[in-house]
Structure 1
């Protein structure tokens, strides 16, 4: 009985190694400029071994990488509403500072995916819409709880915050001295009745 669990554990570990390599390769060369064989080389396995874990090839790897990143953020925001949700956005930015490769990967891929024929085009359109909707709802809940300054529109606050997050990440990736979490907190505080 221990055998299959051991094999499953090895298989899960190999899949995680492949995903880590895909993050590294996609961050360095983008989706378009990368290949399954390069990812396999980084892991030290054959291309067939990669395809065993990701039957859809490079596209399946791309989607797995994106879904893995989003699952962490969704988990962090679960059960948070209003002001608590908004505060957690700051904490997510704080954790991003220790994940340069992942942030870089996201920006490379999201830029590539603006092309309508890119395999992640619809994914990024849906994702950004979901983030904007969730953040707008959090600002609306904060307003209803009396946590927003009078006259603040939740949608405008969410859109502005999202643009600030994306912009600060790009500045940070380009080497500017940016404290993403604190700069985002400062930006959000302009909408709140009391600072975070």
Structure 2
């Protein structure tokens, strides 16, 4: 995963002090991040949401963004936590099991509307090569595409793909469909993200998941 902001960059002063102070700062960051994830999942990103995060951890808004070197770093940290939670569902899974887990990940997004909205807005802005989050999203898409490609390759090695299905193209199609369905869902179109992803994946496999 690409990293733009060094987690330690805003803690240099603390690191120079006693180990106890550094440990306290790390714990504080974790507390802020958990509060941010919960708040963004519920409300999305607004100016008031940062104030809500600050209140929930007993800090000022300035204190919150100080721990993450600015608002953009906080947003990225929340998105990275979203990816980490999704990857827990994929841990140790290969081939068909990996692809089935993608369906479950899409299902979990239904309870994280604010975070999905945050991701969609920031990823669109980051298509600008000069955007500070550009490299992060490029690396993220490449990493996900590679992992899904490998899963399709593993299914193909077991003769589980339909004729003419190329694992790389299948992975990109799956990723593009997931991104598109999230955008339609955010705009209140009647889609079932999990089941629509399942249908797409099944259209590429001999035996459905």
Report TM bin, short chain: 0.7 to 0.9
Q: What SS is found at the alignment partner of 1:107?
A: helix
Check conservation: 1:132, 1:162, Cα contact below 8 A: yes
1: CA distance, partners of 2:156 / 2:142: 21
Task: Name the residue aligned to 2:70.
Answer: 57
Match of 2:138 among 96, 121, 125: 125
1:105 matches 2:118 = yes
Match of 1:179 among 192, 196, 201: 192
Within a 5 Å distance, the mapping from 1:87-106 to structure 2 comes to 87-106=100-119
Task: Name the residue aligned to 1:189.
Answer: 202
Match of 2:173 among 151, 160, 164: 160
Residue 165 of structure 1 deviates from its aligned partner by: 0.8
Query: Could you report, residue by residue, the CA deviation over 1:57-82 in whole angstroms, capped at 9, with x for unpaired residues?
Result: 22321221121111111221111111
Check conservation: 1:82, 1:142, Cα contact below 8 A: yes
Stretches of structure 2 lacking an aligned partner (at least 5 in a row): 1-20
2: CA distance, partners of 1:184 / 1:22: 25
Query: Could you report, residue by residue, the CA deviation over 1:132-185 in whole angstroms, capped at 9, with x for unpaired residues?
Result: 111111000000012212321111111111111111111111111111111110
1:40 matches 2:54 = no
Check conservation: 2:161, 2:205, Cα contact below 8 A: yes
| TM-score, length-scaled by structure 1 | 0.82
Residue 97 of structure 1 deviates from its aligned partner by: 1.4
> How many residue pairs are counted as aligned between the two chains?
183
2: CA distance, partners of 1:71 / 1:145: 29
Stretches of structure 1 lacking an aligned partner (at least 5 in a row): none
Query: Could you report, residue by residue, the CA deviation over 1:3-35 in whole angstroms, capped at 9, with x for unpaired residues?
Result: x9xx7898343442245446667x345xxxx5x
| TM-score, length-scaled by structure 2 | 0.77
- Using CA pairs under 8 Å that are at least 6 residues apart, name the structure with larger relative contact order, 1 or 2: 2
Within a 5 Å distance, the mapping from 1:2-41 to structure 2 comes to 11=28, 12-21=30-39, 27-29=44-46, 39-40=50-51
CA gap 1:171/1:134 in 2 versus in 1, 3 angstroms: same
Q: What SS is found at the alignment partner of 1:97?
A: helix
